[in-house]
């Protein structure tokens, strides 16, 4: 008995405000569906955040529908829960996954907390915030009781656990029932496989690079989904890697060899089929951030889909006026102003106008993500 376990596909996410990145997320989802069909599992489990927003754009809805229908045509059932991005924080609100009820998707919800697939118990709950963790724990206890008559039991959740994200978790590891053969989690974008209770606890991670800090994990463990065999006493888990549409390149280069390094990077980029996302840290030497920023953009911006830069000079130029001269300590206001000077008005204006539109339309989650993207970009600069 095999099943595919994936999560955090985040369709509809327009990373860095780029249509190309939105398309990348669609492409990876379609690739995942095709790979699942090639593997011929008995069923699929999606552990939340199918979409980036609780009100997904039309193309995201259609891409999900196409993929779910392809699974249905191959007689591969799909079971899913709502993640925090899928959930409208309003009482009795329904996640967008409900739209696919007649297309083969079986939604695990408070009203339907479990299903039975070929004598395998598949139960779980949608995302719950830390403020509702007591209700979630009670729900998990009820689900565990319902599962005890079945030899093979799968628990599906979209939650952060203190063992893996100590400062942002919703529940503690001790709150998770240990009687399940496989705990199919979503929410954490890094891949995790742990022995737990009578089986395994696993996060397959996101299928695309949702934040730049996922790059190291991607290089080490890849992105994709798991193929899980629960025929034996202990689940056997195989990583199925997906090929991401474009490269994320992270480079630390020396200011002393700036021209040489930029030439090397440029030559490599021209060997790629698609424009990459490039993250460059310039370090060493005494240099002006604004001058290096201009040099980077002249040399590389046209060949990259997005260029993000960071600077670590050996010394801080006095001309930057970052210190309060009266007591020789950093003036926070001046540091912020200095950081912002490398951004042109177009970027700030784009943020302001997009926020005005989203907030006016009541798209608070979209507005929040735009702010997060902007400040992630700012901090990397």
Q: Dump pLDDT digits (tens) for 198-210.
A: 899 999 999 999 9
Helix (H) or strand (E) holding 346: helix 345-360
pLDDT at residue 280, rounded to an integer: 95
| Contact indicator for 221, 191 with CB cutoff of 8 Å | yes
CA distance 304 to 278: 7
| Contact indicator for 219, 248 with CB cutoff of 8 Å | no
| Contact indicator for 228, 2 with CB cutoff of 8 Å | yes
Give tens-digit pLDDT for 222-262: 999 999 999 999 999 999 999 999 999 999 999 999 999 99
Strands across the sheet containing 2-6: 105-107, 78-80, 43-46, 2-6, 224-229, 236-241
Q: 10 Å Cβ neighbour count for 363?
A: 17
Q: Is 379 exposed, middle or buried (0-12, 13-18, 19+ CB in 10 A)?
A: exposed
Is the pTM here over 0.95, yes or no?
Answer: no
Weakly modelled stretches of the chain, pLDDT under 50: 318-333, 335-336, 379, 381
Rg of the Cα atoms in the chain? 23
- What residues does each domain of the chain span? 2-241, 248-342
CATH (residue range 2-241): 3.60.21.10
**Residues 85, 158, 187, 189: which is the catalytic one?**
85
pLDDT at residue 89, rounded to an integer: 67
Catalytic residue list contains 132: no
Query: What does the block give as tokens for 96?
Result: 């967008």
Apex 305 CA angle, 301 and 311, nearest 5: 50
């Amino acid at each position: 008995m095999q099943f595919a376990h994936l999560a955090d596909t985040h369709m509809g996410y327009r990373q860095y405000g780029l249509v190309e990145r939105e398309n990348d997320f669609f492409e990876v989802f379609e690739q995942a569906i095709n790979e699942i069909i090639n593997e011929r599992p008995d069923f699929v489990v999606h552990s939340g955040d199918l979409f980036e927003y609780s009100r997904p754009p039309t193309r995201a809805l259609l891409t999900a529908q196409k993929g779910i229908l392809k699974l249905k045509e191959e007689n591969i059932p799909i079971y899913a829960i709502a993640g925090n991005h899928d959930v409208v924080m309003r009482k009795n609100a329904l996640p967008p996954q409900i739209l696919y009820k007649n297309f083969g998707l079986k939604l695990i919800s408070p009203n339907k907390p479990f299903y039975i697939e070929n004598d395998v118990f598949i139960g779980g709950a949608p995302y719950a915030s830390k403020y509702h963790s007591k209700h979630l724990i009670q729900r998990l206890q009820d689900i565990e009781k319902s599962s005890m008559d079945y030899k093979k039991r799968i628990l599906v959740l979209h939650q952060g656990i203190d063992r893996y994200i100590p400062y942002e978790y919703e529940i503690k590891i001790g709150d998770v029932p240990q009687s399940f053969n496989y705990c199919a989690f979503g929410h954490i974008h890094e891949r995790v496989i742990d022995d737990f209770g009578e089986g395994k606890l696993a996060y397959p991670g996101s299928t695309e690079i949702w934040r730049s800090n996922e790059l190291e994990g991607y290089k080490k463990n890849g992105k994709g989904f798991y193929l899980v065999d629960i025929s034996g006493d202990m689940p056997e888990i195989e990583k199925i890697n997906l090929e991401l549409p474009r490269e994320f390149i992270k480079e630390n280069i020396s200011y002393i060899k700036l021209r040489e390094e930029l030439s090397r990077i440029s030559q490599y980029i021209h060997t790629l089929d698609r424009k990459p996302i490039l993250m460059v840290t310039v370090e060493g030497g005494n240099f002006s951030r604004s001058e290096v920023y201009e040099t980077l953009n002249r040399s590389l911006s046209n060949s990259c889909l997005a260029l993000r830069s960071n600077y670590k000079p050996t010394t801080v130029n006095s001309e930057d006026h970052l210190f309060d001269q009266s007591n020789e300590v950093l003036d926070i206001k001046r540091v912020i102003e200095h950081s912002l000077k490398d951004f042109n008005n177009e970027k700030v204006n784009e943020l302001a106008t997009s926020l005005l539109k989203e907030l006016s339309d009541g798209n608070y989650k979209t507005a929040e993500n735009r702010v997060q993207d902007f400040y992630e970009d700012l901090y990397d600069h």
